[in-house]
Amino acid sequence: MAFTVSVITIIGSMASFFLNSPSMRFFITSVPRIPIPGKEPLQVYNYSDAWSVLGNLEPVSYRRYETVFPSWDNSPRVGDKAVIMHNATPAAYGEQLRRAIAKVQSEPKDHRIVFINAWNEWAEGCHLEPDTRHGLAYLEATKTALQQRVDARSPMLMSEAAV
């Protein structure tokens, strides 16, 4: 039996909801901040440290879908009140996407969904679109994660996903 995973990109309003959610408040109290002298309101976190928490959230009583993001830096919009994910790379993003895809394989077919924030949130430094720094690397990491076999017997098919 083949598995299908739907990957959907979400836009800023969803991202804003997440930033004010109980999961984000838990995240902020659980992941060590990287201190920036003279800029105490600035919240800088290591991308890998963030995923050690975000990838292992406590169970909830409602359906929660897996969500990944390539990077985050909203300092162009909010200055020193920003949240920044330091050391975000296409390889680290690809690993988190593979982890999320693997995690949804045990879900019912209609719920094998992984959200990606975001396709083009340029002002938040959160985008899959090609740029001068990484070129196509985030799109390639997405493609690789979607093409990876779930196991030797069950190839994953890409469906309802534009890569």
What's the total number of domains in the chain?
1
Q: Which of 55-59, 129-133, 135-139 has the lowest mean pLDDT?
A: 55-59
In a domain, 64, yes or no: yes
Range of the domain at 56: 3-158
Residue 163 lies in a domain: no
- Each residue of 2-23: pLDDT tens digit? 445 555 544 444 444 455 566 5
Q: Which amino acid is at 31?
A: V
Q: Do 57 and 23 form a contact (C-beta atoms < 8 A)?
A: yes
Give a yes or no: residue 11 inside a domain. Answer: yes
Tens of pLDDT, residues 139-155: 999 999 998 844 433 44
- Quick: pLDDT tens for 16-49: 445 556 656 666 678 889 999 999 999 999 999 9
Is 7 within the bounds of a domain? yes
Q: CA–CA separation, 71 vs 132, rounded Å?
A: 15
CB atoms within 10 A of CB 39: 14
Helix (H) or strand (E) holding 90: helix 90-104
